[in-house]
Amino acid sequence: MRKGILSKAKDLIVLSLVFLPLFVFAQEKASSDVTVELILDASGSMEEMISGKTKMQIAKAVLSKYAKNVNEKYNLGLRVYGNTKKRDCKDSHLIVPIAKNNRNQIISEIKDVTALSMTPIGYSLQKAAEDLKSLKDEGTMGIVLVTDGQESCNLDPCKVAKDIIKSGLQLKVNVIGFDIKDKQATDQLTCIAKATGGTYVTSDNADSLYKMLEKSVETVAKYDWNLRVEAPSSHESYTFDAIDEKTGKTVLERQYVDRGYLLSDGVYTIKINTKPEYVEQHVKLSQTKQTIVRVKGRGAITGKAPNSHETFYMTVKNEAGEVVIKEGSLVYSSGYLVPVGKYMVEIGERDKTPIWTKKDVVVEENKLTTVQTAGFGSLAGKEPNSHETFYMTVKNEAREVVIKEGSLVYSSGYLVPVGKYMVEIGERDKTPIWTKKDVVVEENKLTTVQTAGFGSLTGKAPNSHETFYMTVKNEAREVVIKEGSLVYSSGYLVPVGKYTVELTTRSGPIVKTKKDVVVEENELTTVSFEP
């Protein structure tokens, strides 16, 4: 059916190299990338007593002690609300700006804080988010709120917390409920924490408050994940194993890439199931750092299939002649991942001799190489409107048959080398009814051939138990349709012109006759024999 294509095919392949941001170096975020804003409640209720001291005195002492011991690499800031004005729902101030070397300033400033009035938690969260916004790309960040009660102003702090996350600012709000006895307050504070992926803990004395403060800050400092494995962009899905180099134990097995995982501190070997397998050893992980392992030394390769109804595949061989991709689909524009190097690419139908071959195809790191065939176009025929099934035979200029009785249902056509062709359309194993010469097929274009000078003719039988047939004669009285069935509403294909249509029973006498029935090009003419 496809004779002569190989002899005519041009060995012409176009390579396009598109830069892809597939690979970047592994990144780590250390403790210097940790930013925490402390928010301290100094509302009037903080003057209540616990074991002979006010809650305000306990909280100030705990914060001063913690400031001396907190990780010196952390960026820390202190905001206080409710301590300067009565009945002011905007009484919230960053009294110590976010910095590393500010611990003595925190200790100094907190001495003068006195409990006074309102509890504007929602407003304070909004302002803290503004404080942190400029640092959003510099590591992990969060808010630690110490409060003894719920919101006393008009804002809903839980909604404020949700809005912060919706704005794109990824931070946790860890809440410490200090001497909380009210369920409504507990529910509200829990909601704040949950909305941001933070924690809600409680305390009712100095020792536990210190421990909860320390825990809440460290929870901000610790990431939800410390290992992420990323494979280059391709249509394939990859998994990886993580092996603890100290114990030899596989701690993660067949886990999907492009997701975060939290592992214990240690040194690991990462194995990714690319072909060939990619292995990276001595990957040091810490729960206070994020490490991304990316595949190196790989590029992607794909092929661009010609526009036709046939399905083509791509086989890729390395310089040693080894098949690295066998009959890979060409529908994947992101390609297949292969090591950098030179390859031979063969494109053709499945289990058939390749139609195109290209040697020395270079795959570079961080790039997608697309192999695109050239020198071919597509050829299709438009099926006439009739009940008969027609086929298309195509011959090249040497009169070699390149497509034998190809179906006309494929609107995307058949692939042929550019050039001129003769197209014959007819029923299977019969003389063609129509021939067109010098049909030009251009590169990367679809040429559609449609029969000309034909229309369709059908008849509508009278309402009767008898079976009627239609005999059609042209103006020369030649029979062009003999006892054709009337069940085909799409009719019979005939050349345009005038016809005599006779209604008969099979091999019986003529029942009715219609003369001068006109058939127009690409139109269906229906002859009605109803009374």
Query: Is residue 393 helix, strand or coil?
Result: strand
pLDDT of residue 170: 82
Q: CB-side exposure of 307: number of CA atoms within 13 Å?
A: 14
Task: Answer whether 375's CB lies under 8 Å from 418's CB.
Answer: yes
Spans of all domains in the chain: 13-21+300-373, 31-221, 227-294, 376-450, 454-528
Per-residue pLDDT of the chain (531 residues; tens, 9 = 90+): 444 443 333 333 333 333 333 333 334 444 447 899 999 999 999 999 999 999 999 999 999 999 999 999 899 999 999 999 999 999 999 999 999 999 999 999 999 999 999 999 999 999 999 999 988 877 789 999 999 999 999 999 999 999 999 998 888 999 999 999 999 999 999 999 999 989 999 999 999 999 999 999 988 877 778 899 988 878 888 999 999 999 999 999 999 998 889 999 999 999 999 988 999 999 999 876 789 999 999 999 998 876 788 888 999 999 999 999 999 888 888 889 999 999 999 998 899 988 889 999 999 988 899 998 878 889 999 877 788 889 999 999 999 999 999 988 888 889 899 999 999 999 999 999 999 999 999 988 999 998 899 999 998 888 877 889 999 999 999 999 999 888 887 889 999 999 999 999 887 888 899 999 999 998 999 999 876
The CA distance from 515 to 527, in Å, is: 10
The pTM of the whole model exceeds 0.85? no
DSSP bridge partners of 497: 519
CA angle 450, 452, 456 (to 5 degrees): 100
Helix then strand then coil, in percent of the chain rounded to 5, is 15, 45, 40
- According to CATH, the topology of domain 454-528 is Immunoglobulin-like (2.60.40)
DSSP bridge partners of 143: 37, 173
Q: What pairing do the DSSP bridges indicate for beta strands 376-382 and 250-256? A: unpaired
Q: What is the dihedral of CA 273, 278, 279, 280, to 10 degrees?
A: -120
pLDDT of residue 8: 39
Fold match, 31-221 / 454-528: no
Longest CA–CA separation in the chain, Å: 124
The CA distance from 460 to 141, in Å, is: 81
CA end-to-end distance (rounded Å), the chain: 50
According to the CATH classification, is domain 31-221 in 3.40.50.410?
yes
| Buried/exposed 427-452: b ≥16 CB within 10 Å, e otherwise | eeeeeebbeeeebebeeeeebebebe
Q: What are the structure tokens assigned to 314, written together?
A: 């791509």
DSSP 453: S
Pick the CATH number of 376-450 from 2.60.40, 3.40.50, 3.30.70, 3.40.5: 2.60.40
CA angle 290, 25, 302 (to 5 degrees): 120
- According to CATH, the topology of domain 13-21+300-373 is Immunoglobulin-like (2.60.40)
Task: Answer whether 78's CB lies under 8 Å from 95's CB.
Answer: yes
pLDDT of residue 309: 83
Rg (CA), the chain: 40
The structure tokens 């003389």 sit at 431
The CA distance from 358 to 353, in Å, is: 14
DSSP bridge partners of 20: none
